[in-house]
Amino acid sequence: MSVHRGVGEMKFYFSGVESKAELAMLREAEVSRLLLDPTQLAKLHGELDGFRLSLDSGAYRLFKQNRARNLAGYAETVERWQRHYEFDFVTALDDMEDPLRSYRDWLDLETMVGGTLPVWHYTGNPFANPANYLIRSSEAGIGKLVPHLFTKADKSDKTKCRELVESLCEQYPQRLRLFGACDLPLLNAVKDTALSADSSFWIRGRRRGAGFYINSKTGQLCEAAPWLMKKLAPDYPEIADLLEMNGRQRSIANARMLEQYFNMGVKRDLG
């Protein structure tokens, strides 16, 4: 299969970077874009030369740790880090349980520090329509995707989520950023309509042994568990190479594949 440049308008940001060791893996993979929350940024400050950065609010971390949100404190955090870095975008401090409060808090945050990205949650809530944000903002995020897209999510729920997000990206091309988009079928579907996406699933190579490869029949980026890689290896030399790698090496290979496929537009001709 020969290689050429594809359209690939969507840009992919690598998230979930919790240590300098994981950052070193991404640097070895030669990735270009990172999405970091304030806690991660504090850990990695001084080690980020050469990366394009975006700032996540850390709302999910606060939610998991049952910690209170502080809008004024977050505004100060944004202003402090903006003195050190030029971010591609900065997310608003969303409420993981209340879409309406997220919207109101975004409007309040805009009076403190302008230009933040509002985040709509995939929740099924009647208010849950990104159009409410796009009336006032040129871009919006779609969050709370992980519970509906992760490996063990209900298949019907996963399909519903994929179809809705794909439809929204088609309706609002190059205006939506997807957070926690840990699903290659969805990323393949929106690679020319979403503005950006992020995920930490590149690390599955180390945690689960999974590997990423380009399907020779569809040209799409796919994920394979170790048992499937063994089955596919005779027809895919790159998968045979993945099977020879340890978990760290496989995660680096996954990250390199994501970078090349989405951020560099490298595709493979079929046949």
In a domain, 34, yes or no: yes
Gap between the terminal Cα atoms of the chain: 6
In a domain, 255, yes or no: no
CATH of the domain at 137: 3.20.20.105
In a domain, 73, yes or no: yes
pLDDT by 10s per residue, the chain, length 271: 333 333 448 999 999 999 999 999 999 999 999 999 999 999 999 999 999 999 999 998 988 898 989 999 999 999 999 999 999 999 999 988 888 888 999 999 999 999 999 998 886 554 557 888 899 999 999 998 998 898 788 899 899 999 999 999 999 999 999 999 999 999 999 999 999 999 999 999 999 999 999 998 899 999 999 999 999 999 999 999 999 999 999 999 999 999 999 999 776 544 4
Q: What is the pTM of this model?
A: 0.92
In a domain, 62, yes or no: yes
In a domain, 107, yes or no: yes
Domain range for 56:
3-203
In a domain, 19, yes or no: yes
Number of folded domains that form the chain: 1
In a domain, 212, yes or no: no
How many Cα neighbours within 13 Å face the side chain of 152? 0
Instruction: Spell out the long-range contacts of 125-131 with Cβ–Cβ below 8 A and sequence spacing 24 or more.
Output: 125/99, 125/100, 127/99, 127/100, 127/103, 128/99, 130/168, 130/172, 130/176, 131/172
In a domain, 125, yes or no: yes
